[in-house]
Structures are given as structure tokens and as C-alpha cells.
Structure 1
Amino acid sequence: MMRQYELVERVQAYNPNVDEQLLNKAYVYAMQKHGSQKRASGDPYFNHPLEVAAILTDLRLDDASIAVGLLHDTIEDTDATRSEIDQMFGSEIGAIVDGLTKIERLNLVSREEAQAENLRKLLLAISQDVRVLLVKLADRLHNMRTLQYMPPEKRTRIAQETMDIYAPLAGRMGMQDMRNELEDISFKILQPEHYKAITSRLAEMQSEYSETISSISTELTERLAATGISARVKARLKSPFSIFTKIERKQIALEQLSDMIGFRVIVGSVEECYRTVGVVHTKWKVVPGRFKDYISVPKHNDYQSIHTTIVGPGRQRAELQIRTEEMDRIAEFGIAAHALYKDGASADLTRIEHESHAYGSLRSTIEHLTAGNSTEDFLEYTRLELFQDQVFCFTPRGRLIALPRGATPIDFAYALHTDIGDTCVGAKINGSILPLVTHLRSGDEVEIIRDQNHMPPLNWLGIAATGKARAAIRRAVRQAAAQRAYALGEHVLNMMLDREGVSLDDSESAALAEALGMPGKREMLIAVGEGKIGSEPLGTELATIKGLHKRRRKLDLPVADTAAGWFALRSSDLFRFRVPGGQKAGPRAKTALAQLDFHMPVAISGEGVVPGDRLVGILQPDAPLTIYPIHSDALIDMHDSDVAWVDVRWNLSGREGLYPAVIAMESVNKPGSLAQISSAIAACDANINNLVMRMISPDFHHMIFEIEVRDLAQLTDVLATLKRSPGLSAVQRASTREAGMISTLEWDGNVDRRHNDDQR
């Protein structure tokens, strides 16, 4: 066990002005509080906070951080209190210990909602003081180093949690050495066979290529010295987990991986970094496409270096990282390398943000994350924004935009501004118009093409790679769906009011909404439009508020003339119908009306009807009651015909199902157009039953789809999504004539291409 004076000496090695009294007091207090507590290994519990403090001294942190390392478990595991810590060590140290205590109680691999809330708390604590993260990482690192003493099940859970959360956070803060160790220990537990195979191969390589490594190091040092560059060359092998991820990403065997040897070349200045590149490229052959300049464009975690891969002696590939001493220090310790922690100063967030782009970026990201409206958005945004490698693209004016790998122009547009993303309809990449699904690469210049009338379709969720873009798309889709539902609900309510010849003032609207369990009129109308509130309860509550009970009872009474009352047809429980008693009808229609009874067969017109459609029934002698949607063009031809028009309403009574509907559109004739339409329909959760298409010109197809939907709201969503899809026009519900074409192979004498579920 490390003694008090040894801990003080470790801090004095980098901070001569160490507060010995603070560290001694924290040492004694923590040792007394933990007393006889034991860890799973059987060692005294106090060993753990002492080792955490030692790790923090390796990071060269300030006195307060070292004291927190000693005290971080006292509130959680002993009878110590926050007020006691504040009184003895100050409120600054007390706040950090308290923040760590709350984090200790988190279980980041629990149910998804709990995981989101726990991660939110962790990030908020980090945004208040970065030392919360640094102490927590040191705590997790020591726990991982002693994880072999834990039960197997708990060992696996902690390793997965470390791989998912803490290792990426260390990487985000530029603490690459700590990230590598956390990942390698987790990898050993989660994938023991892969770990054993890779470490065995690394041991063989270290023995096999020891002469090559020594030769390259010596020759490189001598050649640089000959040109006046004093350099320090360090050879290393890549970490097991980084090798594993590369194998997985490239889908190759371990034996095929040829660049597992790396060299760090440390020089005195930025100018010497670029001169070193010239020396290296003159001496050895360069592997094309492996040169990266992170000095001119640093990574998001402040990492700076020049990477290049050469073919050295024995045709062995080796990666060189060329950097200055300051860059090497930041690459190793990340945010902990900043001068703030050398003098024992207190945490100044403004100063940290100025010195560390990584922490400033993290705090900005956390502000967006914690403002999320849903668990789904928060978790996805966090994983995508915090834990992704990046590419760097430019606007036409030279603004640099950092995006995760796999990002598309959609992500680029939303990174600029939400309004730009919402109105994006296309993109020029390096001057050429390319599809929005194109993956961006570092160095691309991206220009967004906009249309102010455009709104993002739901299928963009499968294209976007950033959490910000996906959250914005979901929000826009929800808003558009809510607006459509509101309009539909308003239409339904207005139809009822018109039929009864009444109106609602603001107080009556509020009362109606309250009676239906809604907070306000808008929410009520949206619920009506979405089908959450049926027409029956809406009509009942409306009748109560407007005093329409007597009229409704009179309408509902059975009467001798069946054409004057409401009936539910036994042949189909989907509809209710009524023929107004005073309707004018020809002789044949009167005969049909006389035959109207509970057993009347029902037929549906070819274009289909879906719940939410306003319906009309056409009754002719010796024919079933045929139900049409109110927009059907077939009704135009019947306007002056000798038929009876029946007022038909839906009578679903809570039953759910899928209903056929036919839609038509014109599509640009290009590869992938059918797949685009299918994806858009599938994104709205609708199913395609059949389709007919024909070429109307060399550049365009006319297409008719028979789809299945739940209701009018979903059908409206499908039509709206298709209308926003590039390359489509004239999107609408099919006419009666077009709907009839879905069941034939011939169209105007021409053989059409016909697809159905059996042929796909």
C-alpha cells in the first residue's frame, strides 16, 4: 500500500506547490472511513481509492482531483456525508465527490429508459466539471484492472458497460492510452478467443520483426539527424482491440493484416513534422491512400499528428505518426495534458474550453443531448454523436464540418442548420449532383440544394447517420403527421356541426376536449384525425354539450320506412347507412329502397375505401349496395342517374384491420426508382399488394400501386411521403378507371409490366 508521503512525492514531481496538508487530510480521512472494509480480492478497500489517486497523479492532475480520488467512495460506501466533506475539504471537492456518488449508483446496462436517464445524469455531471469524468475514468480503470475477482456474470456486464460508455468517453477526451487499456481489458473478457489469437500473433511479430523494428528506428533517427532534425523514435505494436476492429471492418483474416507495427516520431516543431515527412517518403515507398494530416485539421478530441504508412525492410508495412512533444503529450493524456492541471489551479470551465476543443465540443454536444424530447432520440443521439470516428467536409465558402463516418449530405445539411436539413432536396459534392445517400469523405466540398416547400420524408431515417439529423427528421415527420391529423380532425368535427346546424364557441370547444380526456381543442382534433377518438364518442359528447339528445333519439328510433333510419348491415359490420326520407328518387331507385333491409349485400368500388373516408352508397335494383369514397370520379357519371344515394358511415366499433387503396403516380425512368417508391411506402408502414406500370415516354413511367393501410391518416402519410420524394409527380389516389387496370395485364392495347407478391 502506498504511504502518505509517497503520494505527496508523486504529486510534487510535477507540482512543486502541492498542498500537502490537503492530501494528508484526505488520505487519513478516507482510510479511517473505509476502515476494515474489504474488496472482492480480499485486499483492504482503501487500496482502491489509493490506486485511483495514483492513476490521477500519472495524469498530472491538480491537488483537488487527487483528493477527490481518495474520497470518491466515502459518501457511497461509508457513513460520510456531503456536508461533512464540504466542511472539511471545501464545497468544490464536496460537489465533485457528490457528483461521482450519484454516478456510482447508476446501472448503465439496465432497461433502455433507465440507461438513457443514467447516461444523461453522467453527462450533466461531466459538463459541470470535467474532473468528474477524469476521476470516474481513473476509478473505472482500476476496477477493470482488478475485474478478475468479480463473478463471471458481473464481469461481463461491467466489461460491456466499459466498452460502450467509458472507453469511448476517454477517446472523446483524447486520452488514447487509457482508452486502449480499457478496451483491451474489456475485449479480453468479452471475446477471450479472439483476444488470445491476436495477442499470440503480436508476441510472434515482436520476436519475428525485432530486427526490422530496430533497423527502421535506427535508420530513421540517423537520417533525420543528418538533415538537422533531432527526433525521438518510439516503436510500438497496435493494441489487440484496434487490430480486432480493423479485421472486422475490412473483413479480412488476421494473417492478412500487414501494418500492425507503428512508430511515433517526436520532433521539435510543426515545421520539422513536415520536413520529416519528406525524409521518410524519400527513403521508403509509401502506401497510397494512407497519408493523413491531422495537424492542419485536428480531430475532434484535439489529436494532432501526421500519419503515413511505408513499406520498410522485408516488405513489412509500418505506420508512422509524426508529431511534436506537445502533440504527443495531448495524444497520450488528452484533456488532462492541458496546463490548467500543472499548477494545482481550480477548474475554470471557460479556460478549459478555450484550451481544449474536445471539452468545449463535449459540453456543446451535451447541451443538445440533454435537450432531447424522447428516450429514443437521446440514446441514439448520444451513441452517434459522442462515440463515432469522423470525416471532415467543407461548405463552398470553406466552413469546416465534422461528421461521423458514413454521414451523407442529409447529415451535412442538418449540421449546418435544422431548417437547411428540413428543406434539403439535393446536393452537389465536389461540383457534381449526387444522390443524398452518398457517403461523404474527408475533403469533400458539399453544396446543399434547397426547396422551401419541402419537408423530410420518414425514409430519411435509414439514410441519416447523425443523431441530430435523425432527431430532426423524426420531429419534422411528427409535426407534419400531427398537422395532417389536425386538419382531418377539424374536417370531421365541422361535418358534424354542419349536419346538426350548430357551432362551437371557445368555451364549448374546451369543454368538449375535456369531456374526451384531451387537454385542449388542438389535441382533441389531432386525436380525432389519428383515429384515437372515434366519431361515436365525439358525436355523443357533442350532443351532450349542445343539447341534441332528443334529436338523436328520434333519428335512432326504428321506423316503418327503412330508408329513413340508421341500420347496421349484417352482411358487413363495417358500415352504417341512411337514406334521407325526403330524397328524390326515380322509379327504379324507389324499388331498390323498398328492398333495403338488414341483409342487403355490400360491395366496395374498385378504388377502395379506408377508415376516415367520407362514404357514399349507390343503390340500384337487383344490385348490392356499392360503397364509394366521396372523391370517386364514378359518382360524377351517376349524378343524374336513376339511382339512390345512401349516406354511409363507418361502424368499426374498435376493430382494426388493413384496407386496400389504389394510388397512382408518374416516375422518372431511372435505375432504382421502383426501389425508392417501395422504400417510401414501407417507411410509412404500408404494404404493397400489386402494381402496374407502363412507359409513357422514354423518361417517365406511369405507375399504379395497390397498397394496404390502416386508415386515411396512414394513406395520407404515404401520399405526402411520395410527393416529397425526388423524381415523382402527379401522386394521388387512383381514379376508378386506373383502379380497374390493376387487375389486368393489358392497358390501352399495350402489355404492361405487372408485379405482385408472388413475382417479387
Structure 2
Amino acid sequence: MMRQYELVERVRRYNPHVDEDLLDRAYVYAMKAHGAQKRASGDPYFSHPLEVAAILTDLKLDDATIVAAVLHDTIEDTDSTREEIDRLFGQGIGQLVEGLTKLKRLDLVSKRAIQAENFRKLLLAIADDVRVLLVKLADRLHNMRTLHFVPSDKQARIAQETLDIYAPLAGRMGMQNIRDELEDLAFRHLMPEASQMIKAKLDELREKNGQIIAQVERELRDEFSARGIEARVEGRQKQPYSVWRKMERKSIAFEQLSDIFGFRVVVKTTEDCYRAIGVVHTKWPNVPGRFKDYISTPKENDYQSLHTTVVGPGRQRVELQVRTSEMQDIARYGIAAHTLYKDGRVADRDVLVRESRAYQWLQRTIELLAEGDSPEEFLEHTKLELFRDQVFCFTPKGELIALPRGATPIDFAYAVHTDVGNSAVGAKINGRVAPLLSRLQNGDEVEIVRAIGQIPPAAWEHLAVTGKARSAIRRATRDAVRAQYTGLGRQIVMRAFVRAGKDYSEDGLKAALPRLARVSVDDVLAAVGRGEIFSGDVVKAVYPEVVDERKAVMPRPEGEPGWFPLPKAASLVFKVPDANGESSLNSIPIRGLRGDLPVRFTPNGGAVPGDRIVGILTPGEGITIYPIQSPDLIAFDDQPQRWLDVRWDIEEGHPELFPAKLMVTAINEPGTLGMIATLIGDTGANIDNISIHELSADFREMIIDIEVTDLKHLNGIITQLRAKPVVSKVERVNG
């Protein structure tokens, strides 16, 4: 176990102004707090936070971060409190330790939900101070190094969590060294046989190609030296998990991989990078399509380098990366490179936001927390973005947009701005009209076609790739549904005030909000639209003297052939349509499924313009429209408060199709079904579904769900079907 003075000396190597007293006090405090606690290995528990601190000294982090590492488990696993940490070490260190403390006593139903909520809390803490992330990654790295001491039933879960969350998170923060080690440790526990097999093949290949590697290094140094380029050349080998992942992704064998060995060239300046790549391409032919410039277009984790593949000695493919020393630091340490000591202090968040694309990505991810996602949805969306490689696309103005591989113009639109995504109706890719579901490629120029008032379809949520797009689509859908319920509720409430002979005003409704247990007028109206509050209760809350109309007894329209007798109280909330199927102007206008109200039609026969209709308010679902002759209305005879006065409001010149159902009895002979379908199609109607039942050897009964413009259209189809010699009987189905 590391001694007290050894910790101080490790920090002093890169920070001569180390606060020795602070480190000493933290060491002693944590050692006493953890006391006799033991790790699964049998070692004193205190050895773990010391090893975490040691990992962070390799990243040359400030004193506060090292102290937070030493103390990071005290609040969670000992009797220490945040208040005590603040008092002894300051609020800054207390905040770091609190951010690293898992939530306790969570009232959640599953381990997955607990994991998600803890991850959410961690990211919120990282948003305040990125050093929380650095300590957490170091903590996870040491836990993975000692995972073999943990009971076997926990090893797989911890390794999978590391592979799912922490290794990709380290990668997105540019901390490639930590990512590589986390992935290989997890790989070793999750797939030990595959890990051992690949490691053995890599060792065998290294021994076989040792001379070629040395030859390439020597020739590169000689070429650079001859042209006055000061460069350091290092051979490198892919990590076992990286090899496995590529084999899986491309479905190829180990022997088919051509880039297991590569070379890194480190030079002084950016200009030298391009000079060096010119030297390499002059000496050896490059492989077409394998040159990538991540200097002019850095990755989102701040990675910068030039990549190329050439055909080197012995006709072997050789992969090279060329970068400066500063780029090398960022490639190794990622966001930690931005927190190296600058005049004795760590870079603040504003500096990170300005300098680090990785931190900008993290900030955008944190914004998703404000979108109302559940913790599990947030975790899933974050994992989606962590795992995917990137494509780089451009707006028509030349702005670069980085997206996960597999992203579509939908994701692109939301990456530009949420309003652009919500109003998107089409896209042009490289000047050509393309479907919104097209997969984008590197270098595509994407123009989004927009329409005012557009609402993104709910189905887009399952088509989008990025968490930002999915979250925004879900929020827009929620808002649109709420707006529909609010609009329906406003119409219901206004008509309730008219029936009561009272004036409706939002000011009056605001004054009654406490009696309705709602915080805003829109909340009340939406609740009425969803059927959670009865409109009469709203009237009574504003005007207490009004009699509850649910207790009134009114005459009902009875006796007319084909009409269903309405409940006695229904006439207060439903006005019988006139002979033209129209109700009074106080009724709610119905335009169809694509109107601005939450409307659906009864599945047992539907309703079409020209029918006399009634609306039934279903809590949480909006209005269900029934033709007045539907026997299904019997079920609502004792619920008069759910009956609504509705009328058709069809926009001329913009015909819409409405659902209806026909029962057709026809002769069972070849061509009958085709004849019926052709007739219906020729009238401009649409067949939505057909079910066929055998009545006898000679006759079949067809239940046909069709869509028509109005009652006249429907009756015309019925008349034409009855005229066909193969048709025995046609009836409209109502319930």
C-alpha cells in the first residue's frame, strides 16, 4: 500500500507547489474513516482510493482532484458526511466527493433503474466539474484491475457495465489509454477464451513480423532525417478487444486483418505533419481511400491526427498516424490534457467548453436531462451515442455537423436546431431530394426542407439514431397531444358555461384553480380534455351556485326509427342533430383523424360525414365518435357526463377519408373478390382490411373495412355492390 509521503512525492513530480498539508490530512482522514474495512481481495479497503489517486497522478491532476480520489468512498461507505468533508477540506472538494457518491435508498423497481439513476446523477456532477469524471474513470479502472477477486456472479455484470458505459465514455472524452485498458479487462472477463486466442495470435504475429516492423521504423526515420523533419517513430499493435470488435463488425477472420500493426509518427508542428505524410506517400504507394485528415476536421473527442495506409516493405500494408506532441497528449489523455497545470491552476469549465469538443458533447448530452426522459431512457440514448462511430456532414452554409454513423436527415435536422427538426418535412442530400430515412455518408451536404406548423410523427422516435433527436421528438409529440387535449377541454368548458348561462373567462378560471387542484388554466383544460375533470365541476368551481348538471333530468329523443334512446341527462351535454346531421353552433366541430383534437372513430363500423354522430369522452384517449344508431352506446347509458355534442366540420376542397364497415355476402367463385375490390377502388374509396368467413360451400361472408368521403359516397358503393350478380347481400355494420 502506498505510503503517505509517496503520494505527496508523486504529485510533487509535476507540481512543485503541492499542498502537502492538504494531502496529508486527506490521507489520514480516509485511512481512519475506512478503518478495518476490507476489499474482496483481503487488502485493506483504504488501498483502493490510494490506487485511484495514483492513477490520477499519472494524468498530472491538481491537488483537489487527488484529494477527492483519496476521499471518494468516504460518504458512500463510511460514517462521513458531506458537511464534515466541507468543513475539513472545503466545499470544492466536498462537491467532488458528493458527485462520486452513489444514490442511497433508491425507491426504484429494478437494478437497471438504479444503474440508470446513478449514471444520471454522475453526469450531472460531471457537468458541474469534469474532474468528477476523471476520478470515476480511475476508480472504475482500478476496480477492473482487481475484478478477479470479486464473486463470479458479479464479474460479468460489472464487466458488461464497463463495456457499455465507462469505456465508451472514456473514448468520447478522448482518454484512449484508459479506454483501451477498460475494454481489454472487460473483454478478458466476458469472453476469456476469445481474449486468450486473440492475444496468442497477436504474440505469434509480433514474433513473426518483428524484422519488418524494425525495418519500417528504420526507413521512416532515415527518410524524415534526410528531409530535415524531426520525428519520433513508434511501432504499435492493436489491442485484443479492438481486434475482436473489427472481426465481429466485418465478419472476417483474424488472418484477413491488414492493420493489426501500425506506426505513429510524432513531429513538432502541424506543418511537419503534412510534410511527413508527403514523405511517406512519396516513398510508398498509398492505399486509395485510406487517407483521413483529422487535423483540419477533428473528431468530437478532440482527437487530431493524419491517418494513411501504404503498401510498405514486402508488399505489406502499413498503417500510419502522424501527429504533433500536443495532439499525442490529447490522444492519450483526452479531456485530462486540458486540465494539466497552467500557472498552477486547473482549467475552469468555461475554458473547457471553449477548447474541448469532447466537453461540448458532454454538455449537449447533459441537456437531455432537462427533457423529461426517464433515467432508463436517458441511459439508453446516451449508450446509443457513445457506441457509434461518426460521420461528418455539412449544412448548405458549410457548417460541420458530426453525427453517429447510421444517422439520417432527421438526426441532422435536430443536430442543427430542435425547431429545424420539429418542422422538417423533407431533405436534399448533395442537392438531390432524398427520403428523410436516408443514411448519411461522410461529406454529405444536407439541406432540410421545412413547413410551418409541422409536428414530427411519433414514429420518428424509433427511426432517429441520436438521443437528442429522440428526446425532442418525444417532447414535441407530448406537447402536441397536450395541445390537443387542451383545445378539446377549452371547447367542452366553454360549452358547459353556455349551458349554465354563465360567462366564461380565463381570469375567473384562474381564481378557481385552488378549488380544482391545478396550477394553470391549461392544466385544467387539458384535464377536462382527457376526461379527468368533469366540465360541470369547472363551472361549479367558478360559480358555486350552479346546479350540478349531472343531477338534472331532461327529456330525451325517443321513438325515431333507428335511433338509440339517449340517457336522460345526456341532452345537457349532447344536442340531437337536425335532419342534415348538423348540431347547434355550440357543438364541437369534428374534422377527422388529422384535425387538431384527439379524435378517433369507433372500431365497430366507424362514422362518416352525413351520419348523425355523438362523441364519448374517454379518459386519456380523447373523443370516440359513434353514429347515433350504434348499439355500442348502450354501454354509456349510465355515464351522461361523458356524452359530448359534436358536429361535422368538413373543409371543402380538401376531401378526407373516414372509416366505415361493410358486410358483403357473395358467391364463392373465381374473380368475386377481385370484382368487389375493383369496384370499391374505382369509386375512390380505400380498402383498409378484409376478413372472409365461409357460410357454405357456395357463399362467403366478407367484412370489409373501407374509407369513404361521406355518407353519399358510402351509399353509392352499397348500391353498386348490390347490383353485382355475384353479390347476394350488402349491409353496413354499426357495432
TM-score band w.r.t. shorter chain: 0.7 to 0.9
Equivalent residues of 2:500, 2:546 under 8 A apart:
no
Alignment of 1:405-444 (within 5 A): 405-444=405-444
Distance 2:605 2:79 in 1: 76
Distance 1:541 1:26 in 2: 61
Query: SS where residue 307 of structure 1 aligns?
Result: strand
Q: Say yes or no: does 1:650 pair with 2:633.
A: yes
Q: CA 1:322–1:452 in 2, change beyond 3 Å: closer, same or farther?
A: same
> Which one is further off, 9-18 or 98-107?
98-107
Deviation for aligned residue 1:284: 2.5
Deviations 1:69-111 (A, max 9, x none): 2222233333444444344433332332233234699999954
Distance 2:721 2:364 in 1: 61
Structure 2: stretches of 5+ with no match in the other structure? 580-592, 614-626, 640-649, 654-673, 691-705, 725-735
Deviation for aligned residue 1:449: 1.8
Alignment of 1:695-706 (within 5 A): 704-706=686-688
Counterpart residue identity of residue 706, structure 1: D
Residue of structure 1 in register with 2:616 after alignment? none
Residue of structure 2 in register with 1:64 after alignment? 64
Residue of structure 1 in register with 2:373 after alignment? 374
Residue of structure 1 in register with 2:397 after alignment? 397
Equivalent residues of 2:34, 2:78 under 8 A apart:
yes
Distance 1:192 1:183 in 2: 13
Distance 1:190 1:613 in 2: 50
Residue of structure 2 in register with 1:735 after alignment? 710
Q: Say yes or no: does 1:632 pair with 2:632.
A: no
Residue of structure 2 in register with 1:261 after alignment? 261
Distance 2:576 2:219 in 1: 106
Alignment of 1:602-751 (within 5 A): 629=607, 631-632=609-610, 650-653=633-636, 704-706=686-688, 734-736=709-711
Deviation for aligned residue 1:280: 1.7
Residue of structure 1 in register with 2:357 after alignment? 357
Deviations 1:206-238 (A, max 9, x none): 222222222222222222222222221211221
Distance 2:548 2:26 in 1: 78
Deviation for aligned residue 1:176: 0.5
Distance 2:205 2:601 in 1: 76
Structure 1: stretches of 5+ with no match in the other structure? 586-606, 616-625, 636-643, 656-662, 667-689, 709-730, 750-760
Equivalent residues of 1:340, 1:352 under 8 A apart:
no
Query: SS where residue 136 of structure 2 aligns?
Result: helix
Deviations 1:543-600 (A, max 9, x none): 99742669843537xx9x755999669xxx9xx999x999999xxxxxxxxxxxxxxx
Counterpart residue identity of residue 62, structure 1: D
Residue of structure 2 in register with 1:485 after alignment? 485
Residue of structure 1 in register with 2:470 after alignment? 470
Deviations 1:618-667 (A, max 9, x none): xxxxxxxx9984623799xxxxxxxx997999344499xxxxxxx9xx9x
Distance 1:533 1:493 in 2: 10
Deviation for aligned residue 1:39: 1.2
Residue of structure 2 in register with 1:193 after alignment? 193
Alignment of 1:39-118 (within 5 A): 39-102=39-102, 110-118=110-118
Distance 2:36 2:606 in 1: 83
Equivalent residues of 2:554, 2:571 under 8 A apart:
no
Distance 2:335 2:175 in 1: 7
Residue of structure 1 in register with 2:701 after alignment? none
> Which one is further off, 514-523 or 40-49?
514-523
Alignment of 1:524-543 (within 5 A): 524-527=524-527, 529-530=529-530
TM-score normalised according to structure 1 size: 0.72
Q: CA 1:581–1:92 in 2, change beyond 3 Å: closer, same or farther?
A: closer
Distance 1:439 1:501 in 2: 59
Distance 1:58 1:584 in 2: 85
Equivalent residues of 2:100, 2:136 under 8 A apart:
yes
Distance 2:722 2:287 in 1: 59
Deviations 1:259-308 (A, max 9, x none): 22221111121111111111222232322222211111111121111111
Equivalent residues of 1:270, 1:324 under 8 A apart:
yes
Equivalent residues of 2:458, 2:474 under 8 A apart:
yes
Deviation for aligned residue 1:322: 0.8
Q: Say yes or no: does 1:165 pair with 2:184.
A: no
Alignment of 1:61-460 (within 5 A): 61-102=61-102, 110-338=110-338, 340-341=340-341, 344-346=344-346, 348-366=348-366, 368-375=367-374, 378-386=378-386, 388-460=388-460
Deviation for aligned residue 1:386: 5.0
Q: CA 1:179–1:551 in 2, change beyond 3 Å: closer, same or farther?
A: closer
Distance 1:82 1:582 in 2: 68
Equivalent residues of 1:705, 1:742 under 8 A apart:
no
Q: Number of aligned residue pairs: give it.
A: 644
Deviation for aligned residue 1:316: 3.4
Query: SS where residue 321 of structure 1 aligns?
Result: strand
Query: SS where residue 309 of structure 2 aligns?
Result: strand
Equivalent residues of 1:568, 1:577 under 8 A apart:
no
Deviation for aligned residue 1:535: 9.5
Deviation for aligned residue 1:327: 0.7
Deviation for aligned residue 1:144: 0.7
Query: SS where residue 441 of structure 2 aligns?
Result: coil
Equivalent residues of 1:268, 1:325 under 8 A apart:
yes
Deviation for aligned residue 1:21: 3.1
Deviation for aligned residue 1:43: 1.4
Residue of structure 2 in register with 1:33 after alignment? 33
Equivalent residues of 2:168, 2:179 under 8 A apart:
yes
Distance 1:90 1:515 in 2: 48
Distance 1:313 1:383 in 2: 41
Distance 1:285 1:158 in 2: 46
Distance 1:142 1:523 in 2: 51
Deviation for aligned residue 1:705: 4.1
Deviation for aligned residue 1:504: 5.2
Q: CA 1:365–1:254 in 2, change beyond 3 Å: closer, same or farther?
A: same
Q: CA 1:371–1:85 in 2, change beyond 3 Å: closer, same or farther?
A: same
Q: CA 1:439–1:243 in 2, change beyond 3 Å: closer, same or farther?
A: same
Q: CA 1:83–1:581 in 2, change beyond 3 Å: closer, same or farther?
A: closer
